[in-house]
A = this chain, B = another copy of it.
Amino acid sequence: MADLDLRRLRYFVAVAERLHFSRAAEELLIAQPALSRQIRALEKELRTELFVRDSHGVELTDTGRQLLDDARPLLAAADAARRRVDRAARADRTLVVGFRTGIRVTDAVRDFTAAHPEVTVEVRSVEWDDQAEALLDGRVDVAYVRLPVLADGLALTPLYSEPRMAALPAGHPLAAKDALTSAELARQTEILHLCVNPDPNPGGPRPVSAIRTVEEKLEYVAAGRGVCYLPRSATDLYRRADVRCLPVTDLPPDEVALAHAADRPSPLIDAFREAARRTAPPEA
């Protein structure tokens, strides 16, 4: 039994997702006849029909659906493997540091570079909902994260913590105070949650709106649609007159940690971790 061909699988997924050969071919940057032939060849290899093509268009068969379910994770795994190899190949020459808005990385990078001038340090911003993936598949070597982190397979080094703040509209009755408690906020107003994943559970209930950035979040707050929690570095960064930010005294502080893939130890990662620890801001 010959191997499946990942290129053909990718072609198949492209067609299955669009149910349209010509458009899929366009997306794949090949001509439509080539795509038709490849799909036919795949069907022949598997000795089964994957699509029903009739005058109404193209549809998946049951077998096709089965293959689609398998093909997507398989292709993702292949990509991840490829990235991990890429990472291993440059492991002793380059360090890729992931971070998110509001986290200061320059001090640690400078400290690290002083000790390892031969190593190229890349700094790359990482989406929150992708940070664990990015670490595990090798797109970044280490990443600053805010605890808690939900994924397995990551080694975490706590670095520092910062007060948790609440952002509320400037005219809000609570905005006159100097500090707040979570009870006051829970009782008085609706809390906006940052929804990072485009569609966390498809079909299910979802947060107000697909808010992806802190700016967007604050926009909602300024519009009087609610309040939200933020770490202090975020409120410092995005100061605005129509939003007031106050410390919330009874919530545990927001902890920032350095994460890296738990397998695949590396002296460079260890060195960067020490650099990050040395340069972490003092506790507030």
Contacts and interface: CB of A to CB of B under 8 A. Distances in A.
Contact of A66 (B5, B75, B78, B85): B85
A82 interface: yes
Interface in A77-92: 77-78, 80-82, 84-89, 91
Given A3-B10, A6-B3, A82-B1, A88 B74 contact: no
A185 to B, nearest CB: 40
A184 B6 CA distance: 58
B85 A48 contact: yes
A63 interface: yes
A7 B71 CA distance: 16
Contacts of A10: 3
A70 B264 CA distance: 12
Contact of A85 (B63, B73, B81, B88): B63
A85 B62 contact: no
A243 B240 CA distance: 86
Given A73-B77, A81-B71, A89-B48, A66 B3 contact: no
A89 B3 CA distance: 17
A34 interface: no
A284 interface: no
A39 to B, nearest CB: 14
Nearest to A137: B70
B85 A46 contact: yes
A187 interface: no
